[in-house]
Amino acid sequence: MTAPQTGPVGAGKSILIGPVRYAELCPDGRKLLLDAGFSLIENPGERPYTFEDMLPYLGQIHGAVAGVELWNEQVLSLAPNLRAIGRLGVGLDNLDLDAAAANGTFVSNVPGGNANAVAELAVGMLISLQRKIAVMDKDIRGGRWDRYTGSELCGKTLGLVGFGAIARLVARRISGFDTRIIASDPYADAEAAKALGVEIVPFDEVMARADLISVHAPHTPDTHHMINAKALALMKPHAVLINTSRGGLVDETALFQALQSGQIAGAALDVWESEPVSPDNPLLGLDNVLATTHAAADTVEAYRTVGLVTAQAIIDVFTGSEPQNLRNQPRVSAL
């Protein structure tokens, strides 16, 4: 890091904004960057940037607010002046941290910034699946009036795949329904589990014992398709699966087969292996699938938090301070 400079810290520096609707969703964070003197190159579309979209800007940018667009070694090698990437959220699977460090690029994220939003959607999905809310809504709009027998949460066993911040919030929220809670996580916080009344068990036991399964694991090479045919075969016929984490954790082909055959009762997916999900995805043709658009983190409150923290982290890099939630160790000076 270098000594602080005089004048606006962002003067003469450009920030590439990856997320769509940034001005609408993160007005406070955007203002923070503008007030610091940065010029913003904002995503004008309704979809994440592709490599081709980013290519004209890479050589001129000094910082970036990252969404789900890819920041791999190839992209970073074309951005020699890029010194700060603030991830507008938690997941880092689209960012090559080692390549960023080699490029002299500081990468930060906002762990916990949208945890409550994601946890609340997961709980909402559980209730919707159990009581067939989406099915009833669809049918009544189509002129069909019928009675649907759902299932209560009370007395059921919730299985959490992963026991990080979001999973712990789900456990706290769902405990009011008098459910039993089990979780699988090789790095589980034993004290947190004890405080929440959560039993830590092996992954296979979660899949076999739970009536309700909610996935909250990071997507890594080791966890890719961890919810596969073998894991799904362990589930009870009345069990449901919720995924608000990352699409690559679930083998969609195996999930479709399990749902279509009645091997499991239902699934709710906020995340997909390929996004935006194709309308031709066979999962969308099943009545026992609840689908949303990777929107678990999308609340006014969450966007305000992550927008401000991300903007401040970028500013910190250029003022010579270490950004909050730094996730790599760049090998050269930031400036």
One of 209, 219, 246, 252 is an active-site residue; which one? 246
Residues 6+ apart with CB under 8 A from 281: 252, 272
Which listed residue (73, 275, 301, 322) is catalytic?
A: 275
Q: Tell me the HSE value of 128 on the side-chain side, using a 13 A CA sphere.
A: 22
Only one residue has tokens 């000094």, namely 62
Token pair recorded at residue 134: 């989406």
Contact assessment for residue 248 and residue 219, using Cβ atoms and an 8 Å cutoff = yes
Nearest-5° angle of CA 250, CA 170, CA 268? 35
Bridge partners, residue 84, by sequence: 63, 106
Measure the N-to-C terminal CA separation of the chain; round to a whole number of Å. 7
Q: Is 246 a catalytic residue?
A: yes
Told to judge if 294 belongs to the known catalytic residues of this protein, a careful annotator would answer yes
> Of the residues 294, 301, 322, 327, which is catalytic?
294
- Exposed e or buried b per residue across 114-136, where buried means at least 16 C-beta atoms within 10 angstroms of its C-beta: bbbbbbbbbbbbbebbbbbbbbb
Active site residue 275: yes
Q: Bridge partners of 65?
A: 17, 86
Active site residues: 246, 275, 294
